């Protein structure tokens, strides 16, 4: 089962992708996580991406396209994949169509997590994770059971993402509207598309996603990649300096 999760930053894509992985088997491919591990490793790619990510802007398309093309070809993706954070631009969506056609894979579901954007800043600025096992917490909604100690692994160190600030969030939402939202009409027209209520309780969102995944994917004729028609057409590089 090959799935795309769409939605603005803070919609809960990462949380739900992990749950889909646990419950149904496809592997979570989070481009944000891949970039953050490149930053931690201090690789040239990580060094290039860090200031862009910290500012809340999008990393250039060619980097992300190469990254996903390499990752999707690895053997573990044979059990299916969940794209979390990709594609984020029209150029990436078109490249994804072509790379899937090239390796003989198809998408089964595209799920948009709809959210009330007014609530996103609070969701994002309150989140933190265990530095050791990566379990996610929130200042207001999900504190560890024992203050300062991870429920899962007992570690006492926690981290916050450098781009989980109100300032960077403004830029991330602007990037979502300018560059990612234009891909939605394309996926809505494919017959693979479903929407879930990303403002519902986490378990209810999971239930809605499970209901979508239980539906058989539509029969697809042809599957020849077509160019995605959107206007205006913007590339990552054009808005990078904005
Ligand atoms: P995320 O963890 O998905 O919120 O992504 C964090 C940051 O990584 C984004 O704000 C971008 O700077 C960068 N990023 C992740 N995925 C992409 C993508 N598909 N295209 C461009 N930049 C990305």
pLDDT of amino acid 228? 72
pLDDT of amino acid 215? 86
CA of 234 to the centre of ligand 1 (A): 17
**Neighbour-count burial for 61-74, b at 16+ CB within 10 Å, e otherwise:** bebbbebbbebbee
Report the atom number in ligand 1 closest to the C-alpha of 175: 10
Pocket test of ligand 1: the residue of 48, 54, 88, 94 to mutate, having most ligand atoms within 8 Å of its CB, is: 88
With a Cβ cut-off of 6 Å, ligand 1 is lined by 9, 31-32, 35, 52-53, 56-59, 64, 85-86, 88, 92, 163, 172
pLDDT of amino acid 191? 87
pLDDT of amino acid 36? 95
Q: Is 235 a catalytic residue?
A: no
Q: Are 18 and 68 in contact (CB under 8 A)?
A: no
Q: Is 79 a catalytic residue?
A: no
Q: Which residue's C-alpha comes closest to atom 11 of ligand 1?
A: 58
Q: Which residues of the chain have pLDDT under 50?
A: 238-242
Q: What is the pTM of this model?
A: 0.87
39: which 2 tokens?
A: 């930053």
């Amino acid at each position: 089962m090959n799935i795309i999760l769409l939605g603005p930053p803070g919609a809960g894509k990462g949380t739900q992708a992990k749950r889909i992985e646990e419950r149904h088997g496809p592997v979570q491919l989070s481009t944000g996580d891949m970039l953050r591990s490149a930053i931690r490793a201090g690789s040239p790619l990580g060094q290039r991406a860090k200031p862009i990510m910290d500012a809340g802007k999008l990393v250039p398309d060619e980097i992300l396209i190469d990254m996903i093309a390499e990752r999707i070809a690895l053997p573990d993706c044979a059990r299916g994949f969940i794209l979390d954070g990709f594609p984020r631009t029209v150029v990436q969506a078109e490249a994804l169509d072509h790379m899937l056609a090239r390796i003989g894979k198809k998408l089964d579901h595209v799920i948009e997590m709809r959210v009330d954007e007014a609530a996103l800043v609070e969701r994002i600025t309150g989140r933190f994770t265990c530095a050791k096992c990566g379990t996610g917490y929130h200042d207001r909604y999900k504190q560890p059971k024992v203050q300062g100690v991870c429920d899962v692994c007992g570690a006492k160190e926690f981290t916050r993402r450098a781009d989980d600030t109100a300032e960077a969030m403004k830029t991330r939402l602007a990037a979502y509207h300018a560059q990612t939202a234009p891909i939605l009409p394309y996926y809505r027209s494919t017959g693979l598309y479903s929407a879930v209520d990303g403002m519902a309780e986490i378990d209810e969102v999971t239930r809605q996603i499970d209901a979508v995944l239980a539906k058989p994917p539509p029969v697809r004729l042809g599957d020849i990649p077509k160019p995605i028609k959107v206007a205006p057409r913007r590339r990552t590089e054009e808005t990078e300096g904005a």
